[in-house]
Structure 1
Protein backbone atom coordinates (compact mmCIF):
# COMPACT_ATOMS: atom_id res chain seq x y z
CA UNK A 1 0.00 0.00 0.00
CA UNK A 2 1.36 3.41 -0.95
CA UNK A 3 1.50 6.16 1.69
CA UNK A 4 2.39 9.83 1.26
CA UNK A 5 4.31 11.02 4.31
CA UNK A 6 4.74 14.56 5.62
CA UNK A 7 6.99 16.56 7.91
CA UNK A 8 9.78 14.75 9.72
CA UNK A 9 8.48 11.40 8.45
CA UNK A 10 10.02 12.27 5.09
CA UNK A 11 13.42 12.67 6.72
CA UNK A 12 12.97 9.38 8.57
CA UNK A 13 11.94 7.45 5.44
CA UNK A 14 14.05 9.35 2.91
CA UNK A 15 11.05 9.53 0.55
CA UNK A 16 7.76 11.33 -0.02
CA UNK A 17 5.94 8.14 -1.04
CA UNK A 18 6.56 4.78 0.62
CA UNK A 19 5.20 1.27 0.19
CA UNK A 20 4.17 -0.88 3.15
CA UNK A 21 2.37 -4.20 3.33
CA UNK A 22 0.16 -4.47 6.44
CA UNK A 23 -0.83 -7.89 7.71
CA UNK A 24 -4.31 -6.68 8.65
CA UNK A 25 -6.97 -4.42 7.22
CA UNK A 26 -7.14 -1.45 9.62
CA UNK A 27 -5.33 1.86 9.89
CA UNK A 28 -3.68 0.53 13.07
CA UNK A 29 -2.29 -2.44 11.09
CA UNK A 30 -1.01 -0.04 8.46
CA UNK A 31 0.80 2.10 11.06
CA UNK A 32 2.33 -1.00 12.65
CA UNK A 33 3.65 -2.15 9.27
CA UNK A 34 4.91 1.38 8.54
CA UNK A 35 6.91 1.56 11.79
CA UNK A 36 8.22 -1.98 11.27
CA UNK A 37 9.47 -0.98 7.80
CA UNK A 38 10.76 2.46 8.89
CA UNK A 39 11.77 2.20 12.59
CA UNK A 40 13.08 5.79 12.70
CA UNK A 41 9.49 7.00 12.34
CA UNK A 42 8.38 5.52 15.67
CA UNK A 43 9.37 8.60 17.70
CA UNK A 44 7.19 10.77 15.45
CA UNK A 45 4.10 8.59 15.79
CA UNK A 46 3.98 6.92 19.18
CA UNK A 47 4.79 7.34 22.85
CA UNK A 48 7.43 5.24 24.60
CA UNK A 49 4.82 2.58 25.41
CA UNK A 50 3.94 2.22 21.71
CA UNK A 51 0.62 4.06 21.94
CA UNK A 52 -0.13 6.13 18.83
CA UNK A 53 -0.18 9.81 19.78
CA UNK A 54 -3.60 11.48 19.51
CA UNK A 55 -2.29 14.20 17.19
CA UNK A 56 -1.10 11.71 14.53
CA UNK A 57 -3.36 12.15 11.53
CA UNK A 58 -4.08 9.56 8.87
CA UNK A 59 -6.14 10.62 5.88
CA UNK A 60 -7.85 8.11 3.62
CA UNK A 61 -8.82 10.05 0.56
CA UNK A 62 -10.10 13.34 1.97
CA UNK A 63 -11.36 11.89 5.27
CA UNK A 64 -9.58 11.68 8.61
CA UNK A 65 -9.34 8.03 9.65
CA UNK A 66 -9.43 6.47 13.09
CA UNK A 67 -7.10 3.63 14.08
CA UNK A 68 -9.87 1.06 13.75
CA UNK A 69 -11.12 2.18 10.34
CA UNK A 70 -10.80 -0.43 7.60
CA UNK A 71 -8.44 0.29 4.75
CA UNK A 72 -8.18 -1.47 1.44
CA UNK A 73 -5.57 -1.69 -1.28
CA UNK A 74 -5.62 1.22 -3.67
CA UNK A 75 -6.76 3.79 -1.11
CA UNK A 76 -5.04 7.18 -1.18
CA UNK A 77 -3.34 7.38 2.24
CA UNK A 78 -1.58 10.39 3.77
CA UNK A 79 0.28 10.23 7.08
CA UNK A 80 1.04 13.26 9.23
CA UNK A 81 3.27 12.96 12.32
CA UNK A 82 2.35 13.99 15.85
CA UNK A 83 2.32 17.74 16.44
CA UNK A 84 4.86 19.02 18.92
CA UNK A 85 5.55 22.28 20.61
CA UNK A 86 3.60 24.72 22.65
Structure 2
Protein backbone atom coordinates (compact mmCIF):
# COMPACT_ATOMS: atom_id res chain seq x y z
CA UNK A 1 0.00 0.00 0.00
CA UNK A 2 1.23 3.47 -0.83
CA UNK A 3 0.74 6.06 1.91
CA UNK A 4 0.95 9.84 1.57
CA UNK A 5 0.80 11.91 4.75
CA UNK A 6 0.46 15.60 5.48
CA UNK A 7 1.31 17.99 8.27
CA UNK A 8 3.13 16.69 11.35
CA UNK A 9 2.83 13.09 10.16
CA UNK A 10 5.68 13.81 7.75
CA UNK A 11 8.16 14.03 10.60
CA UNK A 12 6.71 10.89 12.18
CA UNK A 13 7.33 8.76 9.08
CA UNK A 14 10.41 10.57 7.81
CA UNK A 15 8.89 12.07 4.68
CA UNK A 16 5.72 12.63 2.70
CA UNK A 17 5.35 9.13 1.23
CA UNK A 18 6.02 5.54 2.18
CA UNK A 19 5.11 2.08 0.95
CA UNK A 20 4.00 -0.60 3.39
CA UNK A 21 3.21 -4.29 3.18
CA UNK A 22 -0.53 -4.63 3.78
CA UNK A 23 -2.69 -7.66 3.12
CA UNK A 24 -5.96 -5.75 2.94
CA UNK A 25 -8.74 -5.25 5.45
CA UNK A 26 -10.35 -2.14 6.87
CA UNK A 27 -9.04 1.41 6.94
CA UNK A 28 -8.44 0.87 10.67
CA UNK A 29 -6.23 -2.10 9.78
CA UNK A 30 -4.29 0.05 7.32
CA UNK A 31 -3.76 2.76 9.94
CA UNK A 32 -2.67 0.11 12.46
CA UNK A 33 -0.11 -1.11 9.91
CA UNK A 34 1.25 2.42 9.51
CA UNK A 35 1.48 2.93 13.28
CA UNK A 36 3.17 -0.45 13.73
CA UNK A 37 5.87 0.65 11.28
CA UNK A 38 6.04 4.25 12.55
CA UNK A 39 4.96 4.37 16.23
CA UNK A 40 5.47 8.15 16.45
CA UNK A 41 2.51 8.57 14.09
CA UNK A 42 0.10 7.41 16.80
CA UNK A 43 0.20 10.74 18.65
CA UNK A 44 -1.16 12.52 15.56
CA UNK A 45 -3.84 9.95 14.77
CA UNK A 46 -5.28 8.69 18.06
CA UNK A 47 -6.93 10.51 20.94
CA UNK A 48 -6.65 9.79 24.66
CA UNK A 49 -9.25 7.03 24.26
CA UNK A 50 -7.03 5.27 21.67
CA UNK A 51 -9.65 5.82 18.96
CA UNK A 52 -8.88 7.51 15.67
CA UNK A 53 -9.40 11.23 16.13
CA UNK A 54 -12.58 12.39 14.39
CA UNK A 55 -10.62 15.25 12.79
CA UNK A 56 -8.29 12.86 10.89
CA UNK A 57 -9.24 12.69 7.20
CA UNK A 58 -8.40 9.61 5.15
CA UNK A 59 -8.86 8.85 1.48
CA UNK A 60 -8.36 5.53 -0.29
CA UNK A 61 -7.71 5.66 -4.02
CA UNK A 62 -8.99 9.23 -4.06
CA UNK A 63 -12.27 8.59 -2.21
CA UNK A 64 -12.98 9.86 1.33
CA UNK A 65 -13.45 6.89 3.68
CA UNK A 66 -14.38 6.08 7.25
CA UNK A 67 -12.30 3.90 9.57
CA UNK A 68 -14.48 0.79 9.15
CA UNK A 69 -14.52 0.89 5.34
CA UNK A 70 -12.67 -1.72 3.32
CA UNK A 71 -9.13 -1.01 2.11
CA UNK A 72 -7.49 -3.20 -0.55
CA UNK A 73 -3.88 -4.35 -0.24
CA UNK A 74 -2.78 -2.26 -3.23
CA UNK A 75 -4.49 0.93 -2.07
CA UNK A 76 -3.13 4.44 -2.30
CA UNK A 77 -3.96 6.13 1.00
CA UNK A 78 -3.75 9.79 1.97
CA UNK A 79 -3.90 10.77 5.63
CA UNK A 80 -4.53 14.32 6.79
CA UNK A 81 -4.34 14.83 10.56
CA UNK A 82 -6.06 17.75 12.20
CA UNK A 83 -4.19 21.02 12.14
CA UNK A 84 -4.37 22.67 15.53
CA UNK A 85 -3.37 26.01 16.88
CA UNK A 86 -3.10 29.34 15.24
CA UNK A 87 -3.98 32.79 16.44
CA UNK A 88 -6.17 35.61 15.32
TM-score grouping bracket, smaller chain normalisation: 0.7 to 0.9
TM-score (norm 2): 0.85
Give SS of 1:67's match. Answer: coil
Greater strand fraction, Structure 1 or Structure 2: 2
**Structure 1: runs of 5 or more not aligned:** none
Structure number with bigger Rg:
2
- 2: CA distance, partners of 1:75 / 1:41: 19
Residues 19-72 of structure 1: CA deviation (Å, up to 9, x unaligned): 233465000001111111111111100112211100101111221110111011
- 2: CA distance, partners of 1:46 / 1:82: 11
**Structure 2: runs of 5 or more not aligned:** none
Cα RMSD after superposing both structures: 1.7
